[in-house]
Amino acid sequence: MASHQRSPAIKGAKVLMVGAGGIGCELLKTLALSGFEDIHIIDMDTIEVSNLNRQFLFRQSHVGQSKAKVARDAVLRFRPHISITSYHANVKDPDFNVDFFKQFNVVLNGLDNLDARRHVNRLCLASDVPLVESGTTGFLGQVTVHVKGKTECYECQPKPTPKTYPVCTITSTPSKFVHCIVWAKDLLFAKLFGDKNQENDLNARSSNAASSSQQAEDVFERQNDEGIDEYAKRIYDHVFGYNIGVALSNEETWKNRNRPKPLYSRDVFPEEPSQQNGNMDKNCATDDPLSVSAMASLGLKNPQDIWSLLENSRIFLEALKLFFGKREKEIGNLSFDKDDQLAVEFVTAAANIRAASFGIPLHSLFEAKGIAGNIVHAVATTNAVIAGLIVIEAIKVLQRDANNYRMTYCLEHPSRKMLLMPVEPFEPNKSCYVCSETPLLLEVNTHRSKLRDFVEKIVKAKLGMNCPLIMHGPALLYEVGDDLDKDMAANYAANLEKVLSELPSPVTGGTMLTVEDLQQEFTCNINIKHREEFDEEKEPDGMLLSGWTQAPRVEKDDNKTVGNGGSSTSNASSAMPVEAEEDDDIEFVPTGKKRKVGEISKATNPNLSDVADDDVLVMLDGENLDINKKKKLQ
Residues with a catalytic annotation lie at 168
CB atoms within 10 A of CB 519: 21
Ramachandran bin of 400, using left for φ above 0, alpha for ψ from -120 to 50, beta for the remaining angles: left
Report H helices in 417-559. Answer: 451-453, 486-496
Q: Which amino acid is at 112?
A: D
Which residue, among 291, 149, 309, 182, has the nearest Cα to 240 in the 3D structure? 309
**HEC per residue, 18-62:** ECCCHHHHHHHHHHHHCCCCEEEEECCCECCHHHCCCCCCCCHHH
Q: How many whole angstroms separate alpha carbon 331 and alpha carbon 323?
A: 8
Q: Which amino acid is at 84?
A: I
Helix (H, G, I), strand (E, B) or coil at 92: coil
Q: How many whole angstroms separate alpha carbon 47 and alpha carbon 55?
A: 9
Q: How many Cα atoms within 13 Å fall on the side-chain side of residue 510?
A: 0
Q: How many whole angstroms separate alpha carbon 115 and alpha carbon 484?
A: 26
**HEC per residue, 102-154:** HCCCEEEECCCCHHHHHHHHHHHHHHCCCEEEEEEECCEEEEEEECCCCCCCC
Residue pair 66/86 in contact (Cβ under 8 Å)? The answer is yes
Rounded to 5, what percent of the chain is helix, strand, coil? 35, 15, 50
Non-local (6+) Cβ contacts of 64 within 8 A are: 46, 47
DSSP calls for 201-227 = GGGGGTTT-TTSSS-GGGTTSPPTT--
Q: In the 8-state DSSP scheme, what is residue 252?
A: G
Backbone angles phi, psi at 495, to 5 degrees: -60, -35
Q: How many whole angstroms separate alpha carbon 209 and alpha carbon 303?
A: 37
